Structures are given as C-alpha cells and as structure tokens.
Amino acid sequence: MKRTKIDMVMGGAGPLRYPIYVGALIAARDKKLIPGKVDYEKMDRAPRLIGTSAGALIGGLYMSGVSIGRIKKLVEDTDQEQFASFGLARFLKAIILYKANWGGAYMNSGKKAEKWLLEQTGGRTMKDCPGLFIVVADVRNGETVILNAASAPDMTVARAIRASISIPLVFDAVPWTDKYGRKRLLMDGGIRYNFPIDYFVDIDKTPVVGFTPKEGTDPLSDNYSTPEIIKMMIQNMIGATEIKSIEDAAWSSWIMLAGKNDDEKSLLSFDADKKTRKKWLEIGRESTYSKIEAAVEDSKRKLEAVSGDSLVNLYAMLSQDSPGT
C-alpha cells in the first residue's frame, strides 16, 4: 500500500481492555484501509496516528514499524502483570516513598515496561516515526503535551509510550526537559486528553477515524477499600476528559468498541489471562469491521462540509511544534 486511506485516533482503555485496539488495527488492515506494517520509506503517504495511554501503546508499536501480526502475538502472549500490579504491598510502597520523600508516590517504577518497549520498537525515536503523536499530561505545569517528531525528536518511542501509560500512583512519572528548556513531569495522557478525536486537521482530506471503548467504571463494593476509591477516582477523572473532545470533533468520526466486562476484573487490572486478552482483541476487531466503512464515509462528508479557510485556521491553532497546550 503506497498511501493510507485513513488517519487514526486511539484513546485510553486501561490495562484490561487495551487489546481492543489491536482488533481495530486488524479490521482496518483487512478492509485495506491501512498497511499491515508502516514503512515510511516505501509509502507516499503513511498514516498518522494519535494515541493516549493504551492507544499510545498499541498505536506506538504500529507506527514504529511493528507489523499488526506481530503486535497481535505480543498482546496475546505477553503477561502484563510482569510490568505492574495493584495490591496492598504495592500500595504501602507508594505511601512509604511519599512519606520518606524518596521521590514520587508510585507502585511500579515503569522501567521494566520501558525496557520491553525499547526491545519491541528497536530503539526508534519520535523523529523516526513522523506520523506518530502521543498524548501525555505534564502534571508539573498543568498542560497537555503532544509528543511527536517536532516537539520531542530525540525521545525514544518507548519513553513516550511509557509516559502516556503512567497511570497516577501505578507508575512513576517521567521527568523530561523539552527543547525549550522547560522542565516537565509527564504522566498518563488520559488525565487531560483521553480521546484526542479533535486533534487532526486534514488539509489533504484524509478521513479521520477514532476508536474508543464503551464507557464504564468498576462497580464499587459496599465495603470498599482505599485502593478501590483511588481506582474509581482515576476512572472517573479520565472518562470526564472525553466529552469536550467529542463535541469539538467537527471533521472526524469514531467507533465505540462495545464489549461487556464480564470477567469480574477491574478495568485497571494487569492480571488478565491470555483468554481474556484474546476476547477483548476480538471485541475490537468485530466492532471495527462492522462499522469502519460507515465511519470513513461519515468523516469524508464532514471534511467536505468544512471550508479550506477553516482548515487552515484550525491547523495553525494546532501547530505540531507546540510545546504544550
């Protein structure tokens, strides 16, 4: 494929449901809308993809040249509990770190996950992947930052993904000094911009299709614990950031990747087994396969309705080189 037929948006999903985005990629590939593997040198127009958190993980792997078939195998066979987990011992660790002033309060450092990501992406940097945009939250300055080839050219894709998946308390934040010399502390992009469906401005009229899981939060037991409350706070905070983005998406279309969480597991659970991961992958594939052609046509209609002057003005507002918003 010399030219992609769509650009993509992938929002947050959490560690339980993140395989849905692999299913979405499989369906888009099977519908011949995207290549099975991104090769910037061989394509006249490679896809653009912006991802937040789980969407940054799967989208980042794809846009760094990992084939969809390889990503599917990685997701099915990789036990993510090796990278992070909840639990009383981990929670006490976070409290101790905070009280002892030994750094930020977190249950998992994120270093093991970043090492794994480095291996999968071949150490590629953001400038090696000009179509990739990763959303992070700068909690030090209270800003949304879009990491890409212009704003963070020398940052590895692995480090950018790690920053975007750094759920508060679960992973340590990622310190970074941007090219303007401003010190930043990066965490999960879902804190500020969970579903960036309104980000791309398509001057070349390429349809934009977004993927997002059906909204949902974990049920709260009657005898709820402090860790449960924390998880609920994170889920509600991240879910609330999607509303404004969807309202502002004048030229994009999106697919709700619906699926029932009947596994009795938290949406923030890292201990899903292979069967569960394959189930969520298939949910993403089925939802996308049945809806993506209509979504592409919907985006085309919206793009035709937007004037050229409006697109240029919007593009100027969303400069790729902006250090933060």
| DSSP per-residue letters across 98-129 | HHTTSS---SB-SHHHHHHHHHHHTT-BGGG-
Euclidean distance between CA atoms 275 and 3, whole angstroms: 35
Read off the pLDDT of each residue in 247-268 and give the average, rounded to a whole number.
66
Supply the pLDDT for residue 13.
87
Instruction: Name the residue with tokens 């593009």.
Output: 315
Supply the pLDDT for residue 231.
55
- Residue at 125: amino acid letter: T
Supply the pLDDT for residue 241.
52
Q: What is the pLDDT of residues 8-19, one digit of tens each?
A: 999 998 888 999
Q: What is the pLDDT of residues 144-184, one digit of tens each?
A: 999 999 999 999 999 999 999 998 878 888 999 999 999 99
| pTM (whole model) above 0.85 | no
**315: closest CA among 200, 204, 206, 208?**
200
Supply the pLDDT for residue 28.
97
CB distance 151 to 178 below 8 Å: yes
What angle is formed at CA 69 by the lines to CA 67 and CA 72, rounded to 5 degrees? Answer: 110
**61: closest CA among 44, 78, 45, 42?**
78
Kindly state the tokens that stand for 179: 């090219």
101-118 burial code (b ≥16 CB/10 A, e <16): eeebbbbbebeebbebbb
**15 secondary structure, DSSP code:** T
**CA 302 vs CA 197, 205, 243, 252, 311: distances in Å:** 13, 10, 19, 7, 12
Which of the residue ranges 7-21, 235-249, 289-303 would you say has the lowest mean pLDDT? 235-249
| DSSP per-residue letters across 311-322 | HHHHHHHT-TT-
Euclidean distance between CA atoms 1 and 23, whole angstroms: 20
Sequence-distant (6+) residues with CB within 8 A of 72 are 22, 26, 281
**CA 290 vs CA 8, 154, 293, 299: distances in Å:** 17, 39, 8, 16
Sequence-distant (6+) residues with CB within 8 A of 297 are none
- Determine how β-strand 252-257 pairs with β-strand 183-188: unpaired
What angle is formed at CA 207 by the lines to CA 188 and CA 166, rounded to 5 degrees? Answer: 5
* Beta-strand runs (E) in the chain: 7-10, 49-52, 132-138, 143-147, 174-177, 183-188, 208-213, 252-257
The answer to whether residue 122 scores a pLDDT higher than 90 is yes
Provide the greatest CA pair distance for the chain. Answer: 58
Euclidean distance between CA atoms 234 and 18, whole angstroms: 16
**160: closest CA among 52, 76, 254?**
52
The answer to whether residue 186 scores a pLDDT higher than 60 is yes
Residue 98 — pLDDT band, cuts 50, 70, 90? very low
| DSSP per-residue letters across 70-102 | HHHHHHHH--GGGT---SHHHHHHHHHHHHTTS
Mark out the alpha helices in 122-225 (DSSP H runs): 157-164
Which of the residue ranges 13-27, 44-58, 168-182, 213-227 would you say has the lowest mean pLDDT? 213-227
Per the prediction, the chain carries an average pLDDT of 80
Supply the pLDDT for residue 287.
93
